[in-house]
Structure 1
Amino acid sequence: MTSSTKNQAERTVLVGVPASPGFAMGKAFPIINREVSVVEETLPESRIAAEEQLFLKAVNKTVAEINKIKEISESRTGLRDSLIFATHLMILQDPGLVNGILDKIRKDHKNARWAVHVVLGSYIDKFEKIDSPAMRDKAADLRDLYNRLLGAMDDSGPVLEDVATDDGVVLVAHEFLPSFLMTIKPGQVSALAMDTGGRTSHVAILARSLQVPVVSGLRNVAALIKPEDTIIVDGSGGMVIVNPNEDDIRRFHERQEVYERQRRELFTMRRLEPMTRDGKYITLHANIELPTEAEKVMDFGATGIGLYRSEFLFFRKDAPSEQEQCEAYKQILETVAPCPVTIRTLDAGGDKLVPGITSANEANPFMGWRSIRVCLDREEIFCEQLRALLMANMRGNLRILLPMISGLSELRRAKMLINRCREELESRGHKVAAVKVGVMIEVPAAVMLVDKLAKEADFFSIGTNDLIQFTLAVDRTNELITDMFQPHHPAVLSMIYQTVMAAHRQGIPVAVCGEMGSDPFSVLLLVGLGVDELSMTPWSVMATKKIIRSMNFEDVRETALTVLTMDDAESVNAYLKAKYAQTIKDLGISSLLGDDGEKQN
């Protein structure tokens, strides 16, 4: 939502989406899109070959540019965020897209620039008409490629103006494209303000990794801002103040000082135990995407890795070999040994397209051929990964996690393949350490069978993102039903509680590795429901530890049992807010997590 208020001639307050936390103030630098002029030409036969070559050379040049940007992203923000650009490469090299453009040149005798404009433009139009943030992100990816291809064909380079290099610059635009953001040098800008996007957009994800404050969804900020306007960006509360007055500037400095102090204070949590005031220990682990991230996990106070998403090894042109996988897994396992490491087996499909394995043509990919279904259908790929995992487990601290399990037959077949791979390795003379095998509880069917699954699994890990989505039949990327994606819906909480109770009856632990594990109110609720372990981004570990050390287990358990009797999410949220909002505010962590909630007029 966007609103504006003018208390004096030039002061304007805009409220949008808090996309990346933090506070910044500086001079505005509007990013203006150059006009892209594309003229339709009908070509004689003699020019067709030359236009084909012009297009193909532009593709090769753009691929090289994106690969360079992808390398920059990997070094600055990590492998997970660089996958945005891996997706760009997959789109650009898609045979349907490339052949469609070539056909427009060859069969219709159109010039290459017009062919790109028509074919890629039709893709963009299609995604923009779908009322879903995820589809609009896809349209932004395609616009990024569109601009680069046209620029490569006339050597005009990127279609955005060069960015000023002054310290403290606040970039303002209708839309930022991910590749543009990665070309900005560290320290070159202090914040971003944009008309489009949300907290889950690609730009927001990258900005949080780069620790650049962002407010998105402002709708008309690009039209309002003039060069050299002074701007305050509150990325924690989702607010932009244009030409602030003295009171605004004073409050900005106060809040910025508080924010930085709270960041520093969090680091005092690193060596403290995640134990409630009445002695209940809650295991805190970290989620990682890149093997080298394992070195940082302990620095943030985690005591192990609760989720390593192994599919990120596969986001490359050629699948990693068994030996390459083994080395990657070994690096993680040995870095944090003797602490446990949970490695999820290949979770391909859905929004994670793996070259040579998954398809982009499924009508409903999130409920299609993905995760354990892919692995069990492609045993050669699955067994190669299992052998690599077992060989890497030299220190005996590996836990294998199976995603998207919906029934006993899948679990039993996966365990059978693990045993087969163990026997195969032992027959070759390898010594194979014991390994625990866990099940991700993220499908309602798994909850219905949780008592039976608990008898055959060594641990559970609840993937709350998918569990909420599947339980409530709500696409969390669709803004038309965003309000219906409720982590505290009674059905979701009941499923979590059922899972915990069934696991504890069999003496196995339960972890939560979804986004609920780093939300303050959800942490209090999950601990009360009996969850044994929380896994989250490394940075969130310290804030979560601070929450745990502030609570009494018996108090949050009583709260959780009370909440389980409630009829709707609104009642649950109101009850939690009334009971714990002041406590969370006193802990001083809200602004660090990007939900400050304080709006100024």
Structure 2
Amino acid sequence: MTTSTKNPAKKPELTRTVLKGVPASPGFAMGCVFPVTNRKISVVEETLPESRLADEEQLFLKAVHKTTKEVSQIKEISEGRTGMKDSLIFATHLMILQDPTLINGVLDKIRKDRKNARWAVHVVLGAFIDKFEQIDSPAMRDKAADLRDVYNRLMAAMEDSGPVLEDVATEEGVVLVGHELLPSLLMSIKPGQVAGLAMDTGGRTSHVAILARSLQIPLVSGLRNFAALVKVGDTVIIDGSSGQVVINPNQEDIKDFYKRQEIFERQRRELFTMRQLEPMTRDGKYITLHANIELPSESEKVTDFGATGIGLYRSEFLFLRNEAPTQDEQRDAYRYILETMHPCPVTIRTLDAGGDKLVSGITAVNESNPFMGWRSIRVCLDREDIFCTQLKALLLANTKENLRLLLPMISSMTEFRRAKACIVKCRKELEAAGKKVAKVKIGVMIEVPAAVMIVDKLAKEVDFFSIGTNDLVQFTLAVDRTNELITDMFQPHHPAVLSMIYQTVQAAHREGIPVAVCGEMSADPLSVLLLVGLGVDELSMTPWSVMSTKKIIRSINFEDVRDSALTVLQMDDADSVNTFMHNKYAQTIRDLGISSFVGQVDSSKK
């Protein structure tokens, strides 16, 4: 063997970089980067002669058939790997492929506009994707990824070039990195092949996140330009519990990684023992824990995480199509949820549309401030045809008598009474037509300061309150939570916000009705302690947050957190509240062993 006497070339020192994203699937992973890129899809618009239209129709229909077959196979694989419930994601893809609105829309583009099939798919499906992405909801924007997945497969089928996504790495233990990772990609990887996932887009509620959690693969999303910063050969550490990603970690990072990975595995085993336990404080105060869902299919997994009902189903998802859903279509969707959850209660919010939320049947209005414009209950009361169709569907679906009907963005007694009159009218019309209509509980969302100012009057006429803390904070503090320039001003622990929550609880309890909270505060550890102390009866959150919240509740004394809540109500700034709560409870929460699932309790957390 020949040995060189020359000094080996010194390897360039790799730059260590730390980024923060959205913790979408808990766990820890370390591995080499494997970039996943979408092949560029080039679509050219062609106006065709009559003689070519039949061939283009067949090209599209064959692509639909081929894609349907592929997705069906992926669904079958998913059933074996993630279970029947999470495989419903791909059932949604199949529904998209069978949607008459899509099929007929593309065929009309070909037949009437004489366009080529690929352009027709690009225009029609692209319009659906754009509609989802325009909605001011991370969960709704994440749903656009499912449509893009179908779009990519249809395009690939029409050019017969194979999958649009590049092949996944053949070596094991890699970290897949991409601007956007699609659900079908996760189903194409082999067990053990991928250690972790990181992507620029997405959030906790995306289908990729749901699948990643089912497959127990750590995922950090919302990293913005992460995919552009890394290259093949870089080593990365993914912390799916806190959302931190380290590029080219040093020895100290690696040592910390192994330590935290061991802690995570221990915590995960312990946390799953909480599912069947009661969410009761040590001194006997029961706090109801419900789950928020976006899709009817998600209702099947709610009880698996220890929730005892659905605290918020956002019904506007059903309207995100070219044509508004019929009364029968709505009834079937609502009934599926209600029957799946029986005997547990299900809270369904009526259509929250208009302004920035574009849905079928409602013409977009050009407003300078859509958050405070023509939206939500205001739209419904102006468009009683749409509102009453939904109300009748809800009433007919309530055969198990477990429906709680929630009216959003109520700001006056007039609005509430008009909405209630619509409900009464719909009930009478159904009964006059010979339909049996069960009694339904009616509640309002407390999410604007005006509702808090009249909360004592509302409490006399409703069956329950649900506080939407996201909007309540936004409207109370005049802070747009999507504006990065003022993110630090979005403070759920601001004394004004806490006082409004307490005022709402006091008014409700005087009338003997319960109060729920369905905003992001419900899953934050220190906020949970404050909400319980303020007297909130129910907390509703994403299903995967229920178990850790339950463990927090079971570790505390109600009398203690009530005293703490009354103490912070006397404080005059959010920093004082945060410091007090952190000093008193941070160590207690750390000792619970759930940091891998709720992140680190930080004194600066807003």
User: Shorter-normalised TM-score: what interval?
Assistant: 0.7 to 0.9
Indicate conservation of the 8 Å contact 1:283/1:303, yes or no.
yes
273, 279, 289: which one aligns with 1:268: 273
522, 526, 535: which one aligns with 1:521: 526
The whole-number CA distance in structure 2 between the counterparts of 1:530 and 1:198 is 34
Indicate conservation of the 8 Å contact 1:362/1:368, yes or no.
no
Helix, strand or coil at the partner of 2:311:
strand
| Identity over aligned pairs, percent | 64
Helix, strand or coil at the partner of 2:438:
coil
Indicate conservation of the 8 Å contact 1:14/1:240, yes or no.
yes
Other-structure match for 1:554: 559
In structure 2, the CA distance between the partners of 1:342 and 1:253, relative to structure 1 (3 Å rule), is same
One-letter code aligned to 2:461: E
In structure 2, the CA distance between the partners of 1:146 and 1:273, relative to structure 1 (3 Å rule), is closer
TM-superposition CA deviations, 1:144-191 (whole Å, max 9, x none): 999899978976677653222444221134x22557756754745332
Other-structure match for 2:362: 358
Helix, strand or coil at the partner of 1:592:
helix
Per-residue deviation at 1:56? 13
TM-superposition CA deviations, 1:328-357 (whole Å, max 9, x none): 333333333333222222223455432x22
374, 391, 405: which one aligns with 2:410: 405
Per-residue deviation at 1:223? 4.2
The whole-number CA distance in structure 1 between the counterparts of 2:90 and 2:531 is 28
* 1:225 and 2:194 matched: no
The whole-number CA distance in structure 2 between the counterparts of 1:326 and 1:359 is 24
Other-structure match for 1:19: 23
Per-residue deviation at 1:11? 7.6
Per-residue deviation at 1:140? 9.7
Unaligned stretches of 5+ residues in structure 1: 1-6, 94-98, 100-104
Other-structure match for 1:385: 390
Other-structure match for 1:4: none
Matches within 5 A, 1:123-522: 161-173=166-178, 175-176=179-180, 178=182, 184-185=188-189, 187=191, 189-194=194-199, 196-197=200-201, 212-215=217-220, 217=223, 219=225, 222-227=228-233, 229-242=234-247, 248-349=253-354, 352-354=357-359, 356-360=360-364, 362-363=366-367, 364-522=369-527
Indicate conservation of the 8 Å contact 1:294/1:336, yes or no.
yes
The whole-number CA distance in structure 1 between the counterparts of 2:140 and 2:344 is 40
TM-superposition CA deviations, 1:390-446 (whole Å, max 9, x none): 233333322111111121112111111211222223233333322211001112221
Indicate conservation of the 8 Å contact 1:11/1:245, yes or no.
no
Helix, strand or coil at the partner of 1:438:
strand
The whole-number CA distance in structure 2 between the counterparts of 1:376 and 1:574 is 44
The whole-number CA distance in structure 1 between the counterparts of 2:340 and 2:239 is 37
One-letter code aligned to 1:585: R
The whole-number CA distance in structure 2 between the counterparts of 1:46 and 1:423 is 54
Indicate conservation of the 8 Å contact 2:582/2:601, yes or no.
no
In structure 2, the CA distance between the partners of 1:320 and 1:198, relative to structure 1 (3 Å rule), is closer
In structure 2, the CA distance between the partners of 1:566 and 1:513, relative to structure 1 (3 Å rule), is same
Per-residue deviation at 1:524? 0.3
Helix, strand or coil at the partner of 2:302:
helix
Helix, strand or coil at the partner of 1:279:
coil
The whole-number CA distance in structure 1 between the counterparts of 2:474 and 2:94 is 26
TM-superposition CA deviations, 1:548-589 (whole Å, max 9, x none): 111111111111112122222222212211111111111122
CA RMSD of aligned residues (A): 5.0
Other-structure match for 1:96: none
TM-superposition CA deviations, 1:436-473 (whole Å, max 9, x none): 11001112221122121111111100111111122222
The whole-number CA distance in structure 2 between the counterparts of 1:497 and 1:359 is 38
Other-structure match for 1:3: none
* Higher deviation after alignment, 363-372 or 563-572: 363-372
Helix, strand or coil at the partner of 1:329:
helix
TM-score normalised according to structure 2 size: 0.77
Helix, strand or coil at the partner of 1:264:
helix
* 1:581 and 2:586 matched: yes
One-letter code aligned to 2:380: C
Indicate conservation of the 8 Å contact 2:452/2:503, yes or no.
yes
TM-superposition CA deviations, 1:218-248 (whole Å, max 9, x none): 7566444333x44331222333345656665
Paired residues in the alignment total 577
Other-structure match for 2:546: 541
* Higher deviation after alignment, 487-496 or 161-170: 161-170
TM-score normalised according to structure 1 size: 0.77
Indicate conservation of the 8 Å contact 1:490/1:566, yes or no.
yes
In structure 2, the CA distance between the partners of 1:301 and 1:417, relative to structure 1 (3 Å rule), is same
Indicate conservation of the 8 Å contact 1:207/1:213, yes or no.
no
The whole-number CA distance in structure 2 between the counterparts of 1:435 and 1:343 is 11
The whole-number CA distance in structure 1 between the counterparts of 2:381 and 2:304 is 37
The whole-number CA distance in structure 1 between the counterparts of 2:98 and 2:600 is 34
The whole-number CA distance in structure 1 between the counterparts of 2:530 and 2:90 is 30
Indicate conservation of the 8 Å contact 2:300/2:341, yes or no.
yes
In structure 2, the CA distance between the partners of 1:140 and 1:581, relative to structure 1 (3 Å rule), is same
Matches within 5 A, 1:72-83: none
